[in-house]
Chains A and B, each alone.
Chain A
Amino acid sequence: MNENACTAALVEEEILLTDDMFVKDDSAYTDADKMTRPSLSYWQDAWRRFKENKLAMASAVILLVIILLAIFQPMFSQYEYDQTDYFAINQGPTAAHVFGTDELGRDIFTRCWMGARVSLSIALVVALLSGTIGILYGGIAGYFGGLADNIMMRFCELIASIPQMLWVVLLILVMKPGVFPIIIAIGATGWIGMARLFRGQVFSLKESEYVMASRTMGSGSLWIILKHMLPNAMSPIILSMANAIPGAIFSESFLSYIGLGVPLPTPSWGMLCSDGANKLLTYPYQLVFPALLICITMLCFNLMGDGLRDALDPRMRQ
């Protein structure tokens, strides 16, 4: 006799399954694969984490207020930013002039918000410009690799080997001071960091399956870089851009300070501070208000940047 037949006999004997041994559970069909938490995309998850960070949320709200004031205050102000009033020179803060007036009787409150327009737009455009150049440059270098990558990265090293501010000063001297030259000069020298960052990302993404799949289907290089690699490297890019904005505000105020800022009578935060610093001993409020605005803005950008970092890349949290 063989064992199999034996076991079969045993099974037939012992197990008698009847309907009353089972309870029909309808919920199994409906609830088993039901998610207890809503499914979140990466960006929804990041937004949820960002919202929990009170400091970062408060900073974002303050920045929004500053941006709104910069847009609307000069429109509705009773003073023009370059309107002089020789009967109200160097007045401290009063009800008529909240931040006081300068040596030509111009309203510093209006000038501060007009300056915010100039400084913030310089900063935003610089961040976008240097970000775009950096992404294209780093993307191309990383994607093609080899000799092209070597030459392109050597060029970056060459630019990075002397302080950025020296290049900026030289470029502005070539173009003459103004809002546009400042943007070009800072943007044209500030993309190195972004290029290095994105190149590194492209290097690691190059070997991934979806890039290979896309290539098999005949996609062009630029398409792969922009459509497949860029979205996957988005969070370090956003962080780097968030850091570029306060950097550009710093650079602009530095340039105004050494006399290469925006031309008169356009105010910028750096220009206002530089004017105010000359009168620090006699009329300190003329430095205090614009300086305070710069500090608050920088503080908010930095805190928001930290919050973004924690939200986008929770591993980085410390």
Chain B
Amino acid sequence: MLRYTVKRFLSMLLTLFLVATATFFLMHAIPGQPFEVTRETPESVKEAMMAKYGLDKPLFEQYLIYMKNLLHGDFGVSMKYKGQTVTGTVTSGMPASAVIGFGGVILGCLIGSVLGALAALKNKGFVDYFVIVLAILGVSVPNFVFASLIQRIFAVQWKLFPIQGWKGLSYAVLPILAATFTNIAHYARMLRTSMLDTMGQDYIATAKSKGLSQSEIVRKHMLRNSFLPLVTTLGPMLAGCLTGNFVIEKIFNVPGLGQSMILAIQNSDYTMIMGLTIIFSFISIIGYFLVDIVYGLVDPRIRIAG
């Protein structure tokens, strides 16, 4: 297990490095000069600005400086807002994104798993058809449509929750609900497939033939094995929680990370986009790493193969 962990850790470091490099050079391939404004700017001012951000140096030197800063935990500063650092934006946006993200994943995973398991146990029953319809709707209705819909029904017509903003717990309900919807559909479908798959396995027949009760078979043999595929999707899911849900945050005007990224894109704030992209990628890569380790712990077959 230790060997496997060390190997995965080293390959994670390499991935982090390569992704940071790719992002840096992609951002510098964007055509046009930074600080392009509609008004006439004197050459000397432009040059001073370029020098301030180190953009007058050769590209490779800029790259080395950037990598050195990354190692020190400095992800850069905003080009548009004075004194705003990428790290500052992330720390101020993370809590809101995390509340919505984790709320959505935890609720979605719980409700979805229960529905999926029930659907598989009562194959072709009412719950089963409900789950099938829900799963199809979940992948067919874009989340901004669903989010707009519940915003209109619960906030505008019934006035149960605030329409938008982020000033307290009641503001979190609708965004979490919106984030939960897709997850419920996703997890219900997945667990249903995986349960049906497990049911056909030989060890279930063995368990049955040695006289275990149905509930014991479900608890001890079926559920455990059916949850394995779910673990693999948790990595990107959890990473998605922290990096924010762009669309939901925009609709409910939540000051989270997704909203910061959209703002940076709309302002063409390149240093901010680059910093946020690198941080998002890092979170995602670390998420994958953690999930691989957890997967190796729960399923010994992976360790041997890796």
Given A161, A170, A258, A280, which contacts B288 in the complex, CB threshold below 8 Å?
A: A161
Q: A253-B144, A295-B145, A318-B196 are known contacts. Are A259 and B136 too (CB-CB below 8 A)?
A: no
Would you call A311 an interface residue if the criterion is a C-beta within 8 Å of the partner chain's C-beta atoms?
no
Tell whether A280 pairs with B152 under 8 Å between CB atoms, given A161-B284, A163-B239, A166-B281. yes
Q: Smallest CB-CB separation from B239: which chain A residue?
A: A163
Q: With a CB–CB cut-off of 8 A, which chain A residues contact B288?
A: 161
Question: Which of A20-28, A134-142, A297-305 lies at the binding interface?
Answer: A297-305
Question: Closest Cβ of chain A: how far from B47's Cβ, in Å?
Answer: 25
Min CB gap B82→A, angstroms = 23
Using CB atoms, name the residue of chain A closest to B136: A302
A190 to chain B, nearest CB (A): 15
B71 an interface residue at 8 Å Cβ cutoff? no
Interface residues of A in 154-189 (CB under 8 A from B): 157-158, 161-163, 165-166, 169-171, 173-174, 176
**On chain B, which size bracket covers the interface?**
35 or more
A258/B265 contact (C-beta < 8 A), A161-B284, A280-B148 known: yes
Cα distance A11–B148 in the bound complex, in angstroms: 94
- Binding site of A, secondary structure by majority: helix, strand, loop or mixed? helix
* Known contacts A299-B140, A302-B139, A318-B196: A170-B250 contact under CB 8 Å: no
Q: A174-B26, A257-B250 are in contact. Are A161 and B148 (CB under 8 A)?
A: no
B73 on interface, CB distance cutoff 8 Å? no
Minimum CB–CB distance from A277 to chain B (whole Å) comes to 6
From A163, A171, A176, A287, contact of B31 by CB (8 A): A176
On whether the beta carbons of A299 and B145 are closer than 8 Å, the reply is no
Instruction: Tell me whether B42 is interfacial, beta carbon within 8 Å.
Output: no
Contact B277 A280 (CB under 8 A): no
Complex Cα distance, B152 from A291, in Å, reads 14
Given contacts A158-B18, A257-B246, A287-B148, contact A298 B281 (CB under 8 A): no
Q: How far in angstroms is the closest Cβ of chain A from B238?
A: 12
Least Cβ distance of B179 to chain A in Å?
Answer: 15
Chain B residues lying within 8 Å of A163, measured Cβ to Cβ, are 236, 239-240, 243, 280, 284
Q: In whole angstroms, how far apart are the Cα atoms of A284 and B144 in the complex? A: 14
On whether the beta carbons of A173 and B284 are closer than 8 Å, the reply is no
Most buried by B among A157, A173, A257, A259: A173
Q: Are B26 and A171 interface neighbours, CB within 8 A?
A: yes
Contacting residue for A294 out of B23, B27, B142, CB 8 A: B142
Is B141 part of the binding interface, using a Cβ–Cβ cutoff of 8 Å? yes
A253 vs B141: C-alpha distance when bound (angstroms): 12
Residues in A neighbouring B277, C-beta threshold 8 A:
166, 169-170
Q: B265 and A291: CB pair below 8 A?
A: no
A-B contact sample (17 more), CB < 8 A, given A254-B247, A294-B145: A158-B19, A161-B19, A161-B284, A162-B19, A162-B280, A162-B281, A163-B243, A169-B273, A170-B277, A173-B270, A258-B262, A280-B152, A295-B140, A298-B141, A299-B136, A303-B136, A318-B193
Interface residues of B (CB under 8 A from A): 15, 18-19, 23, 26-27, 29-31, 136-137, 139-142, 144-145, 148, 151-152, 156, 193, 196, 236, 239-240, 243, 246-247, 250-251, 261-262, 265-266, 270, 273, 277, 280-281, 284-285, 288
A interface list, Cβ under 8 A from B: 157-158, 161-163, 165-166, 169-171, 173-174, 176, 246, 250, 253-254, 257-260, 273, 277, 280-281, 284, 287, 291, 294-295, 298-299, 302-303, 306, 318
